[in-house]
Amino acid sequence: MSHIIGKTALATARIWHHVDASGRTLGPLAANIAKVLMGKHKPIYDRGADVGDIVVVTNAREVVVTGRKSDQILYRHHSGYPGGLKEIPYKVMQQKRPDKIIKLAVAGMLPKNKLRDRRLRRLVVYPGARNPSLRNVLRRWEDGQLPGHNMSHFPGPRPKPAEAPAPAP
């Protein structure tokens, strides 16, 4: 059997993934989205080729951060003019642009190379449950796992273990 998987249209086809961000932790969520955008979950992954998939995120407004990060995170950008540094706290950004929070987190986890902008264009984030791209979605990340992969480190609501019945005396 050949070890070479051809770069055919079928092998490099882009699959649409849907992620519901409500109740998920921002950091691990962004890390797993970045893996899918890069194509690391595929057997044909190549760091110099753009073989990643398309990810649609809904309910971006309901993403959570742990600890006191909601008070500590500042988003900074500069206008280019003297005194033009703008700082926006996380809580304000969550009200005004919740989609940008996830996009910036994913952008920070992608490699800083020429493919970065192309990969980020395949990330679509919606602040609410409305999803116009729903008919394109082929895979949904139910309970925080990418279908067919064991991603137990992915955050999300976990079922509570059932208590064992007490032994009869």
pLDDT in tens, 67-84: 999 999 999 999 999 999
Q: Is the pTM of this model over 0.85?
A: no
DSSP string, 28-90: HHHHHHHHHHHTTTSTT--TTS----EEEEE-GGG-B--TTHHHH-EEEEE-SSTT-EEEEEH
Q: Where does 16-66+97-144 sit in CATH, by number?
A: 3.90.1180.10
Which has the minimum average pLDDT: 28-32, 42-46, 84-88, 115-119? 42-46
- If residue 98 lies in a helix (H) or strand (E), which one and from where to where? helix 98-109
Domain boundaries, the chain: 16-66+97-144
pLDDT digits (tens, 9 = 90+) for 83-132: 999 999 999 999 999 999 999 999 999 999 999 999 999 999 999 998 88
The answer to which of 20-29, 104-113, 149-158 has the lowest mean pLDDT is 149-158
Residues 6+ apart with CB under 8 A from 19: 29, 33, 55, 56, 57, 58, 140, 141
